[in-house]
DNA sequence: AAATGGAATTGAAGCGCTTCACAATATACA
DNA sequence: TGTATATTGTGAAGCGCTTCAATTCCATTT
């Protein structure tokens, strides 16, 4: 930078101003300096900048699991908002391990990031907000944390949406596939389903817990349902996840005595790739991943810009219903 | 850090040594200093460290597309190797845009990262290795670049593997699904298939280009094949990608007159989730994503440790065959 | 007891930038 | 013409760390 200053015939501070506050510098000087920068191929040193300024203009995103596209969507949404303020975003993957999550958080704090977005592993709590070195931090996809902003999705409403859709197309014998004891979001979804059923006269709900929510679990349940006498089969199934729904559709759809959606309509949850690549595309509840990221980034930027006046917000977004062939013939 | 030094009753430099070169400090002093660090909740400032030392111990990974699990695997492989040397890894997503790729590369260079791993967009060239500020850089999944290490996968061999497998289980009328003009890797895979066919007496190959390699393209082709007279159908299909294979399996598997794999055996490529979640799991060619990342990181660390003596290497890894039900009944 | 050498410790000199009090110059007004 | 007010530009003082020459301390050796 000293070389640039010399070459442009100005002071060190002026070069800095050209880079950071061009409005304080005259047109002519800006040109001179920028020419010198170009000629010398000057690349500013962000480490020095972060040190001198006390903070960088980069935001770190710590993600529980990179292989989950839901989290990746969040990251993308966050990036799009950050880009508007020309703020950089870097990611770190916790790979489902608590130790890596903590290490990545540490790293970003040590780098004096402007702020951190955290899509945590299940069971996150306020302890992640270590007392010292309070880098602004917003939680993604987690609502139960005090002392920081959170952005999450209303799973209860998602379940309600799915069940309401089935009820609206005339189904009355509903089945919920998935184990509410396995994960809090699944329990929330079930609550929403129960509410919808309660609100509809003549509707019944059967709970069918599965060990997990993989395609295989869906297939196992599918066989079980296919073997029932026709009168005891449900006419609508809310699966707790898309893969589960996929397994169900694969088995029930292959059974000659069952038509999807006429005899059994099926909904999934998450709007995974699996849902629309199925031979019979699956109706699902889409989580607004990008929107979560975008809202969270907006909240974070607000906190960064006004740390004092900032009040923590708990934002809850609504999922949306995506209707496909597994519930409605087109 | 000054406070820590004061509290422990030692000099500033000693605290630094405790953190970075404990072997140069006596046991007793280490204990004193570490106690002070803990009591004060001292968090070192990496920006300052990077500035003073001239480089950080963080490596940046720039990825063309985060939603592609192949790239995510590479990142994971890279991380596992870096962890062994307690080197941090951060990611940046180019989101399939050339401008973001360049911006992220700039960012990492400006942060004076120890090194960069780049899984580039198609069509990368040496221009990404800007002359000044030569941060060590290794290309992932791209072989055609001089002036840097590269780590890639042998697509020709992958195609050869797939075709050889079909030939080995007695198939002779092969069909390749996918357009070699659409992407270089697909053309490579086709070359491998052709080589295998050439080596086998009595084997023939039909080329069936598809617009893209999505499930829909597979379905379209599937219908076309199902409508052919039985004698004109292939008995083995090499699909250029798993989704393509998935579409084929969905349609051909649903046709009552066709048995998979007895009448038509099908292979995919990539070992996507889609391949094993299919009702009939699909035989595929697995790309060693994690291995690519691991090898690349090892190469990068070597270059970082000995910038002078380092010679650029072009490492080509071999994909592996994963046999599933679409070619072989278990 | 003096001399020797290695280990442990010190502290000052930067690393490359931002910031800010101040100086210089330009513009406006009476 | 002189003074007040903006507008630009200046350069020195850090930011928090690493490094390294210099110093101190001790255990050995002679």
Is B163:B197 a contact under the CB 8 Å cutoff? yes
**Residue pointed to by tokens 């099926």:** A266
Cα distances from B15 to residues A273, B56, B178, B314, B326, in angstroms, run: 52, 19, 61, 42, 62
Quick one: average pLDDT of A152-164?
A: 98
Distance CA B24, CA B19 (A): 10
Q: How many CB atoms are located within 10 Å of the residue A182 CB? A: 15
Residue A131: what pLDDT? 57
Percent of chain A with pLDDT over 70: 99
Going by the DSSP 8-state scheme, the letter that residue B128 receives in this structure is G
| Chain A hits for B279, Cβ within 8 Å | 250-251, 254
Going by the DSSP 8-state scheme, the letter that residue A278 receives in this structure is S
Q: Does B68 reach chain A within 8 Å, measured CB to CB? A: no
Quick one: average pLDDT of B69-98?
A: 94
Task: Using CA coordinates, name the residue in chain B closest to A56.
Answer: B47
Residue B120: what pLDDT? 95
Quick one: average pLDDT of A238-267?
A: 96
Contact residues, B window 37-56, toward A, CB-based 8 Å cutoff: 41, 43-48, 50-51, 56
Cα distances from A29 to residues A21, A35, A49, B235, in angstroms, run: 13, 10, 22, 73
Q: CA(A109)–C1'(D24) in Å?
A: 38
Distance CA A98, CA A1 (A): 42
Torsion of CA A235, A240, A242, A244, to 10 degrees: -70
Compute the radius of gyration of chain B from its Cα atoms. 26
Distance CA B259, CA B252 (A): 8
Tokens representing residue A288 in the block: 């607004």
Is B9:B32 a contact under the CB 8 Å cutoff? yes
Q: Please give the mean pLDDT across all residues of chain B.
A: 93
Task: Using CA coordinates, name the residue in chain B closest to A273.
Answer: B274
Write the CB contacts of A28 (distance below 8 Å, at least 6 apart in sequence). none
Residue B43: what pLDDT? 87
Q: How many CB atoms are located within 10 Å of the residue A5 CB? A: 18
Contact residues, B window 257-286, toward A, CB-based 8 Å cutoff: 273-274, 277, 279
Query: pLDDT per residue over A56-93, tens digit each?
Result: 899 999 999 998 889 999 999 999 999 999 899 999 99
Is A293:A74 a contact under the CB 8 Å cutoff? yes
pLDDT at A179 > cutoff 60: yes
**Residue pointed to by tokens 């003596």:** B309
Nucleotide nearest to B53 (CA to C1'): D18
Distance CA B75, CA A70 (A): 18
Quick one: average pLDDT of A33-40?
A: 90
Task: Using CA coordinates, name the residue in chain B closest to A245.
Answer: B277
Distance CA B125, CA B136 (A): 16
Contact residues, B window 125-184, toward A, CB-based 8 Å cutoff: 131-133
Torsion of CA B38, B41, B47, B53, to 10 degrees: -20
Residues 20-59 of chain A in contact with strand D via CB under 7 angstroms: 24-26, 28-29, 48, 51-52, 54
Query: pLDDT per residue over A91-112, tens digit each?
Result: 999 999 999 999 999 999 999 8
Is B79:A93 a contact under the CB 8 Å cutoff? yes
DSSP B219-232: HHHHHHHHTS-GGG
Strand partners, A89: A59
B201 three-state secondary structure = coil
Tokens representing residue A203 in the block: 């509707």
Tokens representing residue B59 in the block: 């490596």
Residue A128: what pLDDT? 80
Q: Does A92 reach chain B within 8 Å, measured CB to CB? A: yes
Kindly report the CA angle at B234 between B232 and B237, in degrees rounded to 5?
Answer: 155
Q: Do B279 and A254 touch (CB under 8 A)?
A: yes
Residue B330: what pLDDT? 75
Residue A21: what pLDDT? 87
Q: CA(B1)–C1'(C23) in Å?
A: 36
Assess whether A24 (CB) lies less than 7 A from strand C.
no
Going by the DSSP 8-state scheme, the letter that residue A279 receives in this structure is S
Distance CA B92, CA B108 (A): 9
Tell me which residue of A137, A112, A154, A129 sits closest to A297, measured CA to CA: A137
Going by the DSSP 8-state scheme, the letter that residue A15 receives in this structure is H
Helices first, then strands: H and E counts in chain A: 12, 12
Query: pLDDT per residue over B181-203, tens digit each?
Result: 999 999 999 999 999 999 999 99
| Chain A hits for B254, Cβ within 8 Å | 254, 279
Q: Choose the closest CB to A88 out of B47, B67, B107.
A: B107
Question: For residues A61 and A133, which has the higher predicted lDDT (pLDDT)?
Answer: A61
Assess whether A2 (CB) lies less than 7 A from strand C.
yes
Min Cα–Cα distance to chain B from A293, Å: 15
Quick one: average pLDDT of A30-54?
A: 90
- Highest mean pLDDT: which range of A18-32, A135-149, B158-172: B158-172
pLDDT at A132 > cutoff 70: no
pLDDT band at A48 (very low <50, low <70, confident <90, very high): very high
Min Cα–Cα distance to chain B from A139, Å: 19
Residue B132: what pLDDT? 58
* Interface contacts A/B by beta carbons within 8 Å: 114
Assess whether B90 (CB) lies less than 7 A from strand C.
no
**Residue pointed to by tokens 């790309």:** B287
Residue B133: what pLDDT? 61
Query: pLDDT per residue over B288-315, tens digit each?
Result: 999 999 999 999 999 998 888 899 999 9
Distance CA A152, CA A143 (A): 6
Percent of chain B with pLDDT over 90: 76
Distance CA A296, CA B114 (A): 30
Q: CA(A7)–C1'(D2) in Å?
A: 38
Strand B320-322, strand B284-286: pairing: antiparallel
Q: Do B273 and A277 touch (CB under 8 A)?
A: no
Percent of chain A with pLDDT over 90: 76
Q: Please give the mean pLDDT across all residues of chain A.
A: 93
Helices first, then strands: H and E counts in chain B: 12, 12
pLDDT band at B253 (very low <50, low <70, confident <90, very high): very high
Q: Do B93 and A76 touch (CB under 8 A)?
A: yes
pLDDT band at B61 (very low <50, low <70, confident <90, very high): very high
Question: For residues A147 and A297, which has the higher predicted lDDT (pLDDT)?
Answer: A297
Contact residues, B window 201-260, toward A, CB-based 8 Å cutoff: 215, 243, 246, 250-251, 254
Domains and CATH numbers, chain A: 2-44 (1.10.260.40), 57-153+289-317 (3.40.50.2300), 155-287 (3.40.50.2300)
On strand C, nucleotides with any atom < 7 Å from a protein CB are 7-21
Quick one: average pLDDT of B72-98?
A: 94
Residue B257: what pLDDT? 94
Tokens representing residue A142 in the block: 């987690």
Residue A68: what pLDDT? 87
Min Cα–Cα distance to chain A from B35, Å: 17
Q: Choose the closest CB to A91 out of B47, B76, B91.
A: B91
Strand partners, B204: B173
Question: For residues A144 and B252, which has the higher predicted lDDT (pLDDT)?
Answer: B252
Q: Choose the closest CB to A277 out of B91, B133, B246.
A: B246
Nucleotide nearest to A17 (CA to C1'): C18
């Amino acid at each position: 930078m000293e070389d640039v200053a010399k070459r442009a015939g100005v002071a060190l501070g002026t070069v800095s101003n050209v880079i950071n506050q061009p409005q304080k510098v005259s047109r002519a000087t800006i040109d001179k300096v920028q020419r010198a920068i170009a000629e010398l191929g000057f690349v500013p040193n962000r480490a020095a900048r972060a040190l001198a300024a006390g903070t960088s203009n980069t935001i770190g995103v710590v993600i529980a699991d990179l292989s989950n596209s839901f989290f990746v969507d969040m990251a993308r949404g966050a990036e799009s908002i950050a880009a508007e303020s020309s703020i950089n975003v870097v990611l770190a993957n916790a790979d489902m391990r608590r130790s890596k999550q903590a290490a990545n958080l540490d790293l970003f704090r040590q780098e004096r990031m402007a702020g951190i977005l955290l899509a945590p592993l299940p069971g996150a709590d306020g302890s992640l907000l270590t007392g010292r070195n309070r880098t602004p931090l917003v939680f993604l996809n987690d609502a139960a944390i005090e002392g920081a902003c959170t952005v999450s999705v209303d799973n209860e409403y998602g379940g309600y949406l799915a069940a309401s859709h089935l009820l609206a197309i005339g189904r009355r014998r509903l089945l919920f596939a998935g184990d509410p004891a396995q994960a809090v979001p699944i329990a929330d979804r079930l609550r929403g389903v129960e509410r919808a059923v309660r609100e509809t006269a003549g509707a019944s709900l059967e709970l069918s817990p599965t060990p997990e929510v993989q395609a295989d679990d869906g297939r196992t349940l599918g066989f079980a349902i296919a073997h029932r006498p026709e009168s005891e089969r449900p006419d609508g199934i809310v699966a707790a996840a898309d893969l589960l729904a996929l397994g169900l559709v694969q088995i029930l759809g292959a059974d000659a005595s069952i038509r999807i959606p006429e005899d059994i309509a099926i909904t999934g949850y998450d709007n995974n790739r699996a849902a629309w690549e199925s031979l019979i595309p699956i109706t699902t509840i889409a989580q607004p991943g990008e929107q979560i990221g975008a809202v969270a980034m907006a909240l974070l930027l607000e906190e960064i810009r006004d740390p004092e006046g900032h009040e923590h917000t708990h934002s809850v977004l609504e999922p949306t219903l995506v209707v496909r062939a597994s519930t409605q013939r087109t």
